[in-house]
Amino acid sequence: DIQMTQSPSSLSASVGDRVTIACRASQTISIYLNWYQHKPGKAPELLIYSASSLQSGVPSRFSGSGSGTDFTLTITSLQPEDSATYYCQQAYSTPFTFGPGTKVDIK
Amino acid sequence: EVQLVESGGGLIQPGGSLRLSCAASGFSVSSNYMSWVRQAPGKGLEWVSSIYSGGNIYYADSVQGQFTISRDNSKNILYLQMNSLRAEDTAVYYCATSPSRRHIDYWGQGTLVTVSS
């Protein structure tokens, strides 16, 4: 099975800050990497698919990059509503494993 | 508009069985990729199972042989039959779907399953 790791596990940043979250796969997954945002008590939401494609309706301050084993989610100007846990997920092969998550707090 | 509404969760004793349902609207479960994803208390998201539009079925190692995913095309409902439940199966179970097998576009609100005596 492909293992996913994320760093950092949590971060605290101010409104307007640029935030970067890293995700690494234990083997190459091409570009089959998704990013989800999850807020407590709500359904997760797809932000980025295929490493860098922005899901319809998602603000342009979210972007993704990477291929192979190393990927990045960037929030260019952090907003209060971005407080959430962010998960990467590989969709290269089953089981479609998720990373452990990165909790983003607003200072 | 795509909607997914899960039901069937609740409190169940260890060793018991439960069947989750996911009523879909706005699309056909037979033509989309359907999945179950769970989140245990205080833990992250865990992919559980998927059924493809062509009928192929996949399971996480942790539920292989214990859970069964299925769909009723006439009722437009996705199911997850869960047997021999253990405390570690306690989680919110989300129904999810997408036209693509490579990502999940839509999620239900989840149903809580608690396995405890």
Which residue do the tokens 């999810």 mark? B96
**A49-84 b/e with 16+ CB inside 10 Å = b?**
bbbbebbeeeeeebbbebeebebbbebeebeeebbb
pLDDT given at position B112: 98
Interface of A with B in 76-95 (CB under 8 A): 85, 87, 89, 91, 94-95
Of B44, B104, B109, the CB nearest to A46: B104
pLDDT given at position B92: 98
Q: Residues near B74 by Cβ (< 8 Å), separated by ≥ 6?
A: none
Of B44, B101, B104, the CB nearest to A101: B44
Report in angstroms the alpha-carbon separations of B72 from B27, B28, B55. Answer: 13, 10, 12
Q: Residues near A103 by Cβ (< 8 Å), separated by ≥ 6?
A: A9, A10, A11, A84, A85
pLDDT given at position A78: 98
Mutate to test the interface with A, among B6, B38, B43, B45 (most CBs of A within 10 A): B45
User: Is residue A22 within 8 Å of residue A72, measured between CB atoms?
Assistant: yes
Mutate to test the interface with B, among A5, A49, A96, A97 (most CBs of B within 10 A): A96
Residue B27 is which amino acid? F
* Total residue count of chain B as it appears in this document: 117
Sign, CA dihedral B19-B22-B45-B100, equals: positive
Estimate the share of chain A in helix, then strand, then coil, as percent rounded to the nearest 5.
Answer: 5, 50, 50
pLDDT given at position B101: 86
Average pLDDT across each block of 10 residues of chain B; the chain has 117 residues. List them in order.
Answer: 96 98 96 96 96 94 97 97 98 94 94 97
Query: Cα separation of A72 and A35, whole Å?
Result: 9
Mean per-residue pLDDT of chain B: 96
**pLDDT tens string B85-104:** 999 999 999 999 998 889 99
Count of other CB atoms within 10 angstroms of residue B100 = 12
**pLDDT tens string A57-100:** 999 999 999 999 999 999 999 999 999 999 999 999 999 999 99
